[in-house]
Structure 1
Amino acid sequence: MELSETHVLPVPQARAWEALNDTEILKLCIPGCDSIDAEGENAYAVAMTAVVGPVKARFKGRMELTNIDAPKTYTIVFEGQGGAAGFSKGSATVNLEPGETADTTRLTYSANAQVGGKLAQIGSRLVDGAARKIAGEFFKRFSAQLQGASGPANESADAENGGDAGQEQGKKSWTAWISKS
């Protein structure tokens, strides 16, 4: 699976870089993320739940930042195991450039991932669609965090990360959202 996109972020490049390296912000923005814990220099243990079509799994894995050229670029190398659901591994190169105005940043990424197990059996079209939706939701939440908003993106992140009454509703809509691919 390959995925490349460009997004304009509503903050200067230095702030965007800082946020991309803040595990608390990333945890709030990555759909289904349970934890991101430092595991040495530029290495992290990650746990998240993902639903792709009929397959729902809790993935535990590792990500490492390489080829770091702050505040311009880095490569994320990742791998994860989801038990019977299978595995994923790959990398993503993230580039930041000043935007058209001083208050914006152009983020471009190119990701390449491989999946195996049940995930591979359900078909690349479904996996690709789910990956695009997860990326879209990440950037929606990330932009909201950068702007300091407390809108729906933060509320749904709250629900996924232990919020009160909205928790069950958030989980149901997350499952339905991914399953629509």
Structure 2
Amino acid sequence: MWTYLTAGPFASQAELEVWLRQMTSKPDPQPYAVVDAETGKTHGLICYLRIAPESASIEVGWVTFSPILQQTTLATAAQFLLMRNAFALGYRRYEWKCNALNIPSHRAAERLGFTFEGIFRQATINKGRSRDTTWLSILDKEWVKLEPAYLQWLDASNFDADGRQRVSLSTLTRAALAGRED
């Protein structure tokens, strides 16, 4: 999980807490804990970053979900809530960037309805290694089509008694964006 992030893994909880205090001491990034309402336990972190109100652009990043949270309805709901909030605040561009080698992150973004925009080659150096960065986004005009897809997917009727989805989110997001005018 820490391979593609610029910090971590952390040797101790104290080291993690120092890093979190540093992150929360600035207005950007804005970290949010992902908490399971039923158990009260925190299982992940997700941040707004590269917050640019002047251009109405904001990025989601530092998606750090424990194995308990990964590939769950709660993980998708957390992503949805941040997206919905960003667009409600008037942002017109919601970005997702990841190391070009991080195929699971790229797949997750596309499942969520993000559009691949390209790869910035040798964009940065991370942990002593050159990093190519994959850029993806959702625009406000796409969000109006995607939000109903999320609501349909998150609705309890989309899940059977064992919690299995009846229709996948990727099916719904692809259908929502089919025939869009770019």
Instruction: Pick the structure with more strand per residue.
Output: 1
Fold equivalence (TM over 0.5): no
Q: What is the TM-score with the length of structure 2 in the denominator?
A: 0.32
- Larger RCO of the pair (alpha carbons < 8 Å, separation 6+): 1
The structure having more radius of gyration, on CA atoms, is 2
